[in-house]
Amino acid sequence: MTSDQALSISLGLQGPCVIARLTGDFDFGSAAEVRDRVTKALDLTQPPMLVIDMQAVSVCDSSGLSVLVYLHKAVTASGGKLLLSGLNGRCKHLFAITALDKFFDIRTTAELAIAELSEEGNSPPFTG
């Protein structure tokens, strides 16, 4: 079931966070572009703090899920953190049936995710 809505990717930087806002169909046709563009943007912050806002994603298939898992592994391997936000009904259901809602940290809005990561990014380093 697809809606044939081309995906657009909006990338930005807010405080210590890279924000990727996805709009449209996150599927086989758009997955490689998302992976490549977001991976390049991760170099903007160290450690990488990434919010992927999926509020306007109409369709997400296994290719989209695969990219999200790839990005999660890349971010965490670099000592960073990835938060997803804005999962709508369809995406929320997909994450629940694949148990990815247990794998990813998900926030209701991008603003909440950005605030959380900004707070973490401004924490003083541990000197224990």
The pLDDT tens digits for 6-35 are: 999 999 999 899 999 999 999 999 999 999
Read off the DSSP letter of residue 3. -
pTM value is 0.90
Residue 126 has pLDDT above 90, yes or no: no
Q: What span, in angstroms and rounded, lies between the C-alpha atoms of 24 and 8?
A: 7
**Cβ–Cβ under 8 Å, residues 51 and 114:** yes
Q: What span, in angstroms and rounded, lies between the C-alpha atoms of 49 and 4?
A: 31
Over residues 76-104, the pLDDT tens digits come to 999 999 999 999 988 999 999 999 999 99
Beta strands 105-107 and 81-85, pairing class: parallel
Residue 3 has pLDDT above 60, yes or no: no
| Cβ neighbours, 10 Å, residue 53 | 23
